[in-house]
Amino acid sequence: MNPSRPLLELKNIHKHFVDFHLDEVDIVLNRGEVHVLIGENGSGKSTLMKLISGWFPPDGGAILYRGEPVQFRSIHEAQRNGIIYLHQDVQSFNNLSVAENVFFGRIPTFWGVRFFVDLQRMLAECQRLFAELKIPIDPSASLGNLGYAERQLVAAARGYVSAAELVIFDEPTSAMSEPERNILFDILNRLKENGTGIFYISHRMDEIRRIGNRVSVIHKGRIRGTEECDSVDKSSLLKMMSGDVLKNRYPRIGAEAGPVVMKVKDIVLMPILKGVDFHLRRGEILGITGLMGSGRTLLANCLFGIVRPENGQVEINGEKVSIRHPIEAMSSGISLIPEDRAENGMFLRHNLIQNITAATLPRFRSKGVLNDSYMRELTQDYVREMSIKPGNTGDIMETYSGGNQQKVMVSRWLMNRSRIYIMDEPTRGIDAASKVDIYNAMNDMVDKGASIILISSEIEEILGMSDRILVLAGGRIAAEMNSKNATKEKILDFATDEE
């Protein structure tokens, strides 16, 4: 092994699909380097990483790995050669424990005999690992009971113990608060020190200098440029990404809120939620934030009837409502845009029309028959308004980028014309320009009299788009503040106070 030789080189890579292609891609990854890859949604970031990790071969060009030409024929072949892709929609085993997911493929056994799993040893090793990495997760917990950010940390731990030479992280911090990001960045630094090469896909500009060595911009399937992270200019990166410098990242209206439309009293679901109280006004964007494990998503699921709290009461327009199921929530005028679109909201095997109209099918039904032309016409309206790409109404959703899938989720519930929207990490994994599309859609909702509960781990987003801010900590609302007087420091101070 020659340490001065690049770990991976792509030379003049081409890959053509029906409506997208990678063209003349040249990129280099060195050992012990974090190479950040940024670009708009649909620019080809994930497609390029899938090509590297064996999902499909290139149509032309050369891949040199450890100095030798390679062409992996499967994901498993790439993994056997030390390449792991931890992609955006975490592929894990929800029915297994955290420890089993971390050590999957290398689970400790009795006497080395297959199928005789040494559970106590596995849990003990995972406990030691998590203590070393400062991951505050119970190794014996079922992975399916964890939130998105927690599952990303579990995936990072799996990458750390895998002895991989090349690890690809795809938007790992998109639903993480600052303390969780710090844990992940510590893992990245440990991997770098071990000589692991890392590709890191991100939309967060602040992460580039913090953890990257070099950054490449991909735009419409081509590498537009590569820069050193310690000297890169944010405006030039944005211009390479989209052709323009993005202004007014948080276009909040800030209109005066109306009367109270929703009251939440003493929501309890132990051991996480210990008595949550708040109210929501008409035409208001109410931001809720908190650290990983604070119960942000659990609260959203309680309000939408996905899980039943042990105690609590919800009033809509002054009347008590019983929400034991999502159908009852929708009947009360509540919609939920979930945190994990792949797990809870997106029908990946169905097309764009079917996904956008899924919550409003009765509107298109006449005498028991769906009006296909009306469905297509209204879908195309949302494709234009939300800049969904490629926007071919017959394409199945698994062919769309993660950011465009998220726009489809938002469009689905916009079409539903609800009075109250619960938006759980609505811009997770979305580029800066596409975030503005969703923020403008939120403004349009509240301008028409709807109310929004914006749940986000991204404090800048909470500060930028909320009229009022609630901080969830210790199972309760630890603080309420007006966005005009709120700061990141104040929010983090309350978020870390568990008393």
Task: Please spell the DSSP secondary structure of 69-92, one letter per residue.
Answer: EE--SSHHHHHHTTEEEE-SS---
Spell out the SS3 assignment of 447-492: HCCCEEEEECCCHHHHHHHCCEEEEEECCEEEEEEECCCCCHHHHH
- Round to whole Å and give the CA distance between 361 and 383: 18
Q: Is there a domain that residue 249 lies in?
A: no
Do 198 and 327 lie in one domain? The reply is no
User: Which pLDDT score is estimated for 244?
Assistant: 52
Tell me what the mean pLDDT of segment 329-347 comes to.
Answer: 83
Q: Is there a domain that residue 120 lies in?
A: yes
Domain enclosing residue 275, as ranges: 260-495
Element (H, E) at 265: strand 260-269
User: Which pLDDT score is estimated for 289?
Assistant: 94
Q: Is there a domain that residue 42 lies in?
A: yes
User: Which pLDDT score is estimated for 92?
Assistant: 65
Whether the Cβ atoms of residue 186 and residue 213 lie closer than 8 Å to each other: no
Whether the Cβ atoms of residue 190 and residue 132 lie closer than 8 Å to each other: no
Instruction: State how far the alpha carbon of 404 is from the alpha carbons of 41, 159, 180, 389, 410, in Å.
Output: 7, 27, 26, 6, 10
Return the structure tokens found at 410. 């938002």
Sign of CA dihedral 104, 105, 106, 108: positive
Q: Is 344 helix (H, G, I), strand (E, B) or coil?
A: helix
Whether the Cβ atoms of residue 104 and residue 84 lie closer than 8 Å to each other: no
Do 285 and 156 lie in one domain? The reply is no
Neighbours of 443 (CB within 10 A): 18
User: Which pLDDT score is estimated for 196?
Assistant: 97
Q: Which residue has the higher pLDDT, 215 or 239?
A: 215
User: Which pLDDT score is estimated for 110?
Assistant: 44
Neighbours of 158 (CB within 10 A): 22
State pLDDT tens for residues 272-299.
899 999 999 999 999 999 987 788 999 9
Do 478 and 329 lie in one domain? The reply is yes
Whether the Cβ atoms of residue 288 and residue 470 lie closer than 8 Å to each other: yes
Label residue 419 by pLDDT band (50, 70, 90): very high
User: Which pLDDT score is estimated for 474?
Assistant: 86
Q: Which residue has the higher pLDDT, 75 or 394?
A: 75
Mutual angle of helices 119-133 and 178-193, in 10-degree steps: 100
Whether the Cβ atoms of residue 190 and residue 128 lie closer than 8 Å to each other: no
How far is C-alpha 476 from the chain's CA centre? 25
Do 309 and 442 lie in one domain? The reply is yes
| pLDDT tops 60 at residue 88 | yes
User: Which pLDDT score is estimated for 315?
Assistant: 97
- Round to whole Å and give the CA distance between 53 and 168: 9
State pLDDT tens for residues 175-186.
788 889 999 999
Q: Which residue has the higher pLDDT, 230 or 197?
A: 197
Element (H, E) at 199: strand 197-201
Do 232 and 369 lie in one domain? The reply is no
User: Which pLDDT score is estimated for 323?
Assistant: 94
Number of H helices, E strands in the chain: 17, 22
Do 228 and 336 lie in one domain? The reply is no
Residue 233 CB partners (closer than 8 Å, separation 6+): none
Tell me what the mean pLDDT of segment 96-106 comes to.
Answer: 86
Nearest to 459 by CA among 487, 436, 478, 440: 487
Unique residue bearing structure tokens 């790995």: 65
- Of 60-74, 237-251, 255-269, where does mean pLDDT reach its minimum? 237-251
User: Which pLDDT score is estimated for 113?
Assistant: 44
ω before 271 within 30° of 0 (cis)?
A: yes
- Round to whole Å and give the CA distance between 183 and 204: 17
Residue 231 CB partners (closer than 8 Å, separation 6+): none
Percent share of the chain, pLDDT over 70:
92
Do 353 and 317 lie in one domain? The reply is yes
Q: What are the start-end ranges of the H helices in 37-177?
A: 45-52, 75-80, 98-102, 119-133, 148-161
Backbone angles phi, psi at 204, to 5 degrees: -95, 110
Do 270 and 235 lie in one domain? The reply is no
State pLDDT tens for residues 131-172.
999 999 999 999 888 888 898 999 999 999 988 999 999 988
Unique residue bearing structure tokens 């109306």: 258
User: Which pLDDT score is estimated for 111?
Assistant: 43
Q: Is there a domain that residue 63 lies in?
A: yes
Q: Which residue has the higher pLDDT, 161 or 116?
A: 161
| pLDDT tops 90 at residue 233 | no
Percent share of the chain, pLDDT over 90:
51
Largest Cα–Cα distance of the chain, in whole Å?
A: 71
Q: Is there a domain that residue 248 lies in?
A: no
- Round to whole Å and give the CA distance between 141 and 128: 15
Structural domain ending residue among the three candidates 242, 272, 302:
242
Label residue 116 by pLDDT band (50, 70, 90): low
Structural domain ending residue among the three candidates 242, 268, 301:
242
Say if strands 214-219 and 222-228 run parallel, antiparallel, or are unpaired: antiparallel
Q: Is there a domain that residue 31 lies in?
A: yes
Backbone angles phi, psi at 370, to 5 degrees: -80, 135
Number of folded domains that form the chain: 2
Gyration radius of the chain's alpha carbons? 23
Q: Is there a domain that residue 251 lies in?
A: no
Do 224 and 365 lie in one domain? The reply is no
| CATH number of 387's domain | 3.40.50.300
Whether the Cβ atoms of residue 42 and residue 202 lie closer than 8 Å to each other: no
Taking the alpha carbons at both ends of the chain, their separation in whole angstroms is: 53
- Round to whole Å and give the CA distance between 457 and 343: 19
Say if strands 476-482 and 468-473 run parallel, antiparallel, or are unpaired: antiparallel
- Round to whole Å and give the CA distance between 140 and 271: 16
- Of 119-133, 366-380, 460-474, where does mean pLDDT reach its minimum? 366-380
Label residue 343 by pLDDT band (50, 70, 90): low
Q: Is there a domain that residue 84 lies in?
A: yes
- Of 42-46, 99-103, 112-116, where does mean pLDDT reach its minimum? 112-116
Do 185 and 267 lie in one domain? The reply is no
| pLDDT tops 70 at residue 242 | no
Q: Give me the half-sphere count of Cα atoms (radius 13 Å) on the Cβ side of residue 118.
A: 13
Q: Per DSSP, which regions of 220-259 are E strands?
A: 222-228
Do 43 and 122 lie in one domain? The reply is yes
- Round to whole Å and give the CA distance between 244 and 89: 29
Tell me what the mean pLDDT of segment 434-454 comes to.
Answer: 90
- Round to whole Å and give the CA distance between 314 and 379: 33
User: Which pLDDT score is estimated for 366?
Assistant: 83
Do 396 and 272 lie in one domain? The reply is yes
For the chain, the helix, strand and coil percentages under 3-state DSSP, each to the nearest 5: 35, 25, 40
